[in-house]
Chain A
Amino acid sequence: MTATLRMAEMTFRELLRRRGVLGLLLLVPLVFYLGRYDQTGQAIRFASLGVGFAVSAAALFSAVGGREIEPLLALSGFRPLQLFLGRLLALLTAGMGVSALYAVIILVGQDVAHPQAVAVELALTTLVAVPLGLLLGAAVPRDMEGALLLISVIGAQMVMDPAKDSAKVLPFWSTREIITYAVDGADSGSFDSGVAHAVGATLLLVAVSGCVTAGRLRRRRHLQFA
């Protein structure tokens, strides 16, 4: 537990010191939000997807940036799971701070039927975004490729009709479902199915990204310790 928390602490410290990148990433949801400020549902949806993009991008850059040092930390005694969970924990903590900030911005500026649902939706978006970024970071060779893939995912999320069944394969399907409930009331969307989808997507992404990380940091078969 100490090793996981120490990894989380150091990842969090490193993240907070990248002020330039963090500032630019934090600006993305604000730009999205202000662009649709006069349409409540659209404004919240765009801000939420902006938060999803910013948090996923931070996780992606963190994962790619950690590739050099993680094998050395594994050699120094960390288990791959501790490294993965530590990074996950740090990013979730930072991401929840971002989602709380945007919950306040949105709830001050918009009139919605269920304000609590907006806060929950933003938290769930962060919950999905972190392992999504970690998975992209573990799977692509460089952060540029990961960023392009992430833009594709967010773009598809923006243009795809959420009523289609195929839209449910996208990681942030829950975002719009819960926002519709929050803005228009219970008849227009489902809070429960949105939450269930977000939790399911998170568990799947955590499992896959954890397995990819563990595979990358596995002990090679040719090496034996006497």
Chain B
Amino acid sequence: MPFVAVGRKVAVMGYSVGAREGYHGMSEPADRKILLQARGVVKRYKRRRVLTGVDLVVHAGEVAAIVGSNGAGKSTLLKICAGLLSPDKGRVTVSGHLGYCPQNAGVMGFLTPREHFTLFGTGRGLSRRESDRRGRKLAGELDWAPAEGVLAKDLSGGTRQKLNVVLSALGDPDLLLLDEPYQGFDHGSYVDFWRSVWEWREAGKAVVVVTHMLNQLDRVDQVLDLTPGKGRGNR
């Protein structure tokens, strides 16, 4: 695999994007606050055991990737961490606000992106104006300018996924759980996405990204591989 993520040391790769900045001034993760702690998570679907005592600890200012083959339980683990699904065993502790981006677009097809900003912003106690401002700023960071009057159902798959990413980050959460967030992104948007992830990391947020595979553009602090037979826990 071309990525490098050893223990808790970040390996800066030979990526070609313009975000080579190091992580200045960051203390070792172990010294920082734990924002997500999942312990002994077990989940079965009927007789099939998907998660067998999985542990995941993510500190502030840390990016974790959950990888694994199809059906390995990546999305299941993330949903359990978000509280959207109950495990058969195990506990999850979250510190601060949580943002979750689903794998498939969980949006209201007949609302515009800006109406989504307003709605999700209201949940975080933001005014209509502030929600719109933050939403457009986050969209801009993903190289997307939401057009006036276009409904979510008429957006392309990649743009709808950008909407999901924006909505998950709208309330400035401390912990971001992103389930294959860049499906349908073009290369430029993919690069922009990882740049945003690194900025969130720099700002002291914890980010967990579910992905099929990591490549040389993805720079993460730890990897949890859920592929059967590869063992469990951080590599």
Contacts and interface: CB of A to CB of B under 8 A. Distances in A.
Interface of A: 2-3, 6-7, 10, 13-14, 17-18, 65-66, 68-69, 71-73, 75-78, 219-226
Contact of A76 (B102, B107, B120): B120
A224 B93 contact: yes
Contact of A222 (B86, B102, B110, B115): B86
B125 A222 contact: no
B139 interface: no
Contact of A73 (B83, B86, B120, B151): B120
Contacts of B119: 6-7, 10, 73
A124 B44 CA distance: 46
A136 to B, nearest CB: 20
24 contacts: A6-B118, A7-B122, A13-B110, A14-B108, A17-B110, A17-B151, A68-B102, A69-B108, A71-B84, A73-B120, A75-B82, A75-B100, A76-B123, A76-B124, A76-B167, A76-B170, A77-B122, A77-B123, A219-B83, A220-B84, A222-B86, A223-B81, A223-B93, A224-B92
Contacts of A71: 84, 106
Given A10-B108, A17-B110, A3 B99 contact: no
Contacts of A10: 108, 111, 115, 118-119
Contact of B99 (A14, A75, A219, A223): A75
A69 B93 CA distance: 23
Contact of B91 (A75, A219, A222): A222
Given A3-B123, A6-B118, A7-B119, 19 more contacts: A7-B122, A14-B110, A68-B102, A69-B106, A72-B106, A73-B119, A75-B84, A76-B120, A76-B167, A76-B170, A76-B171, A77-B124, A77-B125, A219-B83, A222-B86, A222-B91, A224-B92, A225-B96, A226-B94
A223 B115 contact: no
A2 B124 CA distance: 11
A219 B83 CA distance: 7
B39 to A, nearest CB: 10
B156 interface: no
A134 to B, nearest CB: 17
B87 interface: yes
Contacts of A17: 110, 151
B29 interface: no
B184 interface: no
B85 interface: yes
A13 B111 contact: yes
B68 interface: no
B87 A73 contact: no
A14 B115 CA distance: 10
A72 B102 contact: yes
A73 B123 contact: yes
Interface of B: 80-87, 90-96, 98-100, 102, 104, 106-111, 115, 118-120, 122-125, 151, 167, 170-171
B179 to A, nearest CB: 12
B107 to A, nearest CB: 7
Contacts of B122: 2-3, 6-7, 77-78
Contacts of A75: 82-84, 98-100
A106 B171 CA distance: 49
A58 B83 CA distance: 29
A72 B120 CA distance: 9
A219 B93 CA distance: 13
B111 A222 contact: no
B92 to A, nearest CB: 5
Max chain B Cβ within 10 angstroms of own Cβ: one of A18, A66, A73: A73
B106 A222 contact: no
Contacts of B110: 13-14, 17-18
Contact of A220 (B85, B100, B120): B85
B125 to A, nearest CB: 7
A224 B36 CA distance: 10
A2 B91 CA distance: 33
Contacts of A69: 106-108
- Interface pairs A-B: 5 shortest CB-CB: A77-B123, A76-B123, A223-B83, A17-B110, A14-B110
A140 B52 CA distance: 31
